[in-house]
Amino acid sequence: MSAPLHLLLITHGRLGEELLATATLILGPRDHTDALSNDGLSREGLVEAVLGRLEALPEDASLLLLVDAPGASPHLACRLALARQPLERRERQHGPITGVNLPLLLTALNRRETTPVDELLPLLLDRGRAGILMAD
Amino acid sequence: MASKAEWILRMDDRLVHGQVCVGWCEVLGIPHLVLADDAIVGSAFERDLYACCPGQDQQLAFMGLEELALAMSTPPAQATLAVIAGPSEALRLLELGAPLVEVLVGGLHDQPGARQVTDYLFVTPAQEESLRQLMARGVHLVGQPLPASPRLELQRLLG
């Protein structure tokens, strides 16, 4: 089993926290997950908060960043924070993937320990998109 | 619904983000956005970063404050929402000759030394001084994060 892939959700309001809580109801508790809200934070405040979470991880940790809406402040702050990371860390930081939803998150939690990251990322995009249907 | 061709100036330390593109421009049918910031206009990385923000029917332009002040001297061809980072940028626009009548204060977030005025408005002493200078020079400052939010008079809020 490879080293755990950490998941960090950066979202508006309590969305990330609640997605993780909901995933826990379905899958049970999982380690190496965290959520960060943009609530009340300026652009720089949110970038600093993201950097704080990134720097709190072990030096050799792999990380996948998940954000909600493309072009919104969590997405922008995430990209700005990643751009300020040292190259050696940046190589183990993946994403951000935008539009995080429950199917995508459940797949990430279930498959992150068994699927190499280069295969996991396209799989997550597929699962996230496949979760949006006109159900009849 | 398309808004009339006019400049709308917003002060927001998050600059262009979801509340601006979806909450304002999409709701009011504003097709043009300007992100006016002297640092960002000179950064290819930051221009690329913000280029993902506007919706399909929106166009985003990047300007320095001098360019925006000049642009605001004539009415835009279509409704245009220009976003600046804070009070000092608004004062700079005024000094550059921009005809500022009203500025919407959409978001100034908490930071060290700031006092809370509303849930989306925190001001440091320096920012408050700049806001007071703007009001003293006849600029109407309105606290309003979203179109449906109440329009709050900063003159009254700041006391």
Domains of chain A (ranges, CATH numbers):
5-128 (3.40.50.510)
Residues of B in contact with A75 (CB under 8 A): 52
CATH classification of the domain holding B120: 3.40.35.10
Under a CB-based contact definition with an 8 Å cutoff, are residues B31 and B57 in contact?
yes
pLDDT at B2 over 80: no
- Strand locations in A17-112 (E): 33-37, 62-67, 93-97
Under a CB-based contact definition with an 8 Å cutoff, are residues B108 and B11 in contact?
yes
For chain B, the average pLDDT equals 96
Tell if the CB–CB gap between A43 and B110 is shorter than 8 Å: no
H or E segment and range at residue B97? none
Tell if the CB–CB gap between A76 and B49 is shorter than 8 Å: yes
Quick one: pLDDT at residue A2? 59
Under a CB-based contact definition with an 8 Å cutoff, are residues B81 and B10 in contact?
yes
User: Is B13 domain-assigned?
Assistant: yes
Residues of B in contact with A40 (CB under 8 A): 109-110, 119
pLDDT tens, position by position, for chain A (136 residues)?
557 899 999 999 999 999 999 999 999 999 999 999 999 999 999 999 999 999 999 988 999 999 999 999 999 999 999 999 998 889 999 999 999 999 999 999 999 999 999 999 999 999 999 999 997 7
User: Is B149 domain-assigned?
Assistant: yes
Quick one: pLDDT at residue B88? 98
Number of domains chain B contains? 1
B78-86 mean pLDDT? 98
Domain residues for the domain of B73 are 7-158
Residues of B in contact with A41 (CB under 8 A): 109-110
Dihedral, CA of residue B15, residue B21, residue B23 and residue B26, to nearest 10:
160
Quick one: pLDDT at residue A59? 86
User: Is B42 domain-assigned?
Assistant: yes
B82-102 mean pLDDT? 98
User: Is B2 domain-assigned?
Assistant: no
Q: Report the share of chain B in percent with pLDDT over 70.
A: 99
Instruction: Provide the number of CB pairs (under 8 Å) joining chain A to chain B.
Output: 45
C-alpha pair distances (Å), A87 with each of A83, A93, B87 = 9, 10, 36
Q: Which of B14, B18, B49 sits opposite A69 (nearest CB)?
A: B18
Tell if the CB–CB gap between B52 and A71 is shorter than 8 Å: yes
Dihedral, CA of residue B36, residue B53, residue B145 and residue A96, to nearest 10:
-120
pLDDT at B62 over 70: yes
> Is the interface score ipTM higher than 0.90?
no
Tell if the CB–CB gap between A76 and B17 is shorter than 8 Å: yes
